[in-house]
Amino acid sequence: MRIHLLSPLLILLVLPACRHTAPQAPQDRPAAVTVAADDNLNAVLWMQASAEYRAAALQTWRAATDRLDDALADPRWDALLPAERGNPAMGLPPAVIVDVDETVLDNSPYQARLVLDGGEYASATWAAWVDERRATPIPGVLAFAQAAQARGVTIVYISNRTEAMQDATLDNLRAVGLPVASDAVFLGKGTVVEGCASADSGDKACRRRLAGRDYRVLFQFGDQLGDFTAVEPNTPDARAALMATHGEWFGERWWMLPNPSYGDWQPAVFDNDWGQSPQQRREAKRRALDPAR
């Protein structure tokens, strides 16, 4: 009896639910939001949102911290390749050489803006971002820097940020708590090194040589092969050869931070020809994929 009384009410309650789950006619569906595909979406998202990226960066800086005392104790230990060292390292005060972008500072907000706006890197937008001085430290770098500072190890920043960006960069580094011993520890793109000429102003070899004049270099840190030694020419074969020759230095004197969002590994597969359209570059990258390896 009670069921009979409730039945009309139940029907009234269930009917609206049925209406919501019934397939909608095409004309009733909301318009699909179409977003242009961006080749960098996954890479930037991984760097900003994944615990995996944080873990990879942390383990790199922690492993290096664990090697600091060994490197300090061995007077012959040096992280510059002999070809890039113009003077004996023994007896010089200790330093580490670090790249800045995606090595000690996280510029992923700039990359995220490019993805969201459908843009590509441009020197003007990059300079505006640098001037904001809002890059945050890469996970793990502050603890390493404190350990280095406590042991009297100077941090030298060799960056392809230009010399004009020095003030903004040093402000940003200091603001996040990274040690800046003096303005002289920033060696930006365009630094003139007496007695040394690079074919390309982005090549860091002369600046490494300059740092080597004053310091025994315990470690180098970067997110690009070119942060550690000259890569010439920037081709997949030359890069592979360099790894075959010097790969054992990684995890010992050289420490690589992950950066899937940009870097010389990319133009290496499209002949370093940025004049190509994005579609042409994408096609070259697809051709570089190996479905059989």
| Per-residue contact flags (x/-) with Mg ion for residues 33 to 72, judged by CB under 5 A | ----------------------------------------
Residue 99: CB minimum distance to Mg ion, A: 4
Strand (E) or helix (H) holding 73: helix 51-73
Q: Which ranges of 163-258 does DSSP label H, i.e. alpha helix?
A: 166-176, 205-214, 236-246
d(CA 188, CA 158): 6
Residue 284, token pair as written in the block? 């070259």
Taking the complex as a whole, how short is the minimal distance between the CB of residue 103 and Mg ion, in angstroms?
5
Q: Which is nearer to Mg ion, 84 or 102 (CB)?
A: 102
Residue number, 77 or 186, with CB nearest to Mg ion: 186
User: In degrees, to the nearest 5, what angle opens at C-alpha 104 toward C-alphas 226 and 93?
Assistant: 80
Give least dist CB 70 to Mg ion, A.
Answer: 26
Collapsing DSSP states into helix, strand and coil, what is residue 276?
coil
- Three-state DSSP at 43 gives helix
C-beta closer to Mg ion: residue 215 or 228? 228
With CB atoms as reference, the residue minimizing the distance to Mg ion is 101
**Residue 85, φ and ψ in degrees, nearest 5:** -110, 125
Region near Mg ion per CB under 5 A, out of 108-116, 133-141, 196-204, 221-229: 221-229
Between 102 and 106, name the residue whose CB sits nearer to Mg ion.
Answer: 102
Compute the least distance from the CB of residue 131 to Mg ion, in Å.
18
* Complex with Mg ion: residue 84 or 101, whichever CB lies closer: 101
Tell me the number of residues near Mg ion by CB under 5 A.
4
Cβ-based nearer residue to Mg ion, 203 or 276:
203
Beta carbon nearer to Mg ion, 89 or 187: 187
Between CA 61 and CA 219 the distance in angstroms is 11
- Min CB(71)–Mg ion separation in Å: 22
- Taking the complex as a whole, how short is the minimal distance between the CB of residue 107 and Mg ion, in angstroms? 9
- Residue 101 CB, shortest distance to Mg ion, in Å, is 4
Nearest CA to 100 out of 195, 18, 21, 187 is that of 187
What's the Cα-to-Cα distance from 89 to each of 92, 104, 214, rounded to whole Å?
Answer: 6, 25, 9
Residue selected from 61, 223, 228, 262 as contacting Mg ion according to rule CB under 5 A: 223
- Euclidean distance between the first and the last CA atom of the chain, given in angstroms as a whole number: 72
The Cα–Cα gap between 216 and 205 comes to 16
Between CA 239 and CA 262 the distance in angstroms is 16
Site string for Mg ion, 85-114 (x = CB under 5 A): --------------x-xx------------
User: What tokens appear for 234 in the block?
Assistant: 């920037």
The residues that touch Mg ion, with contacts defined as CB under 5 A, are 99, 101-102, 223
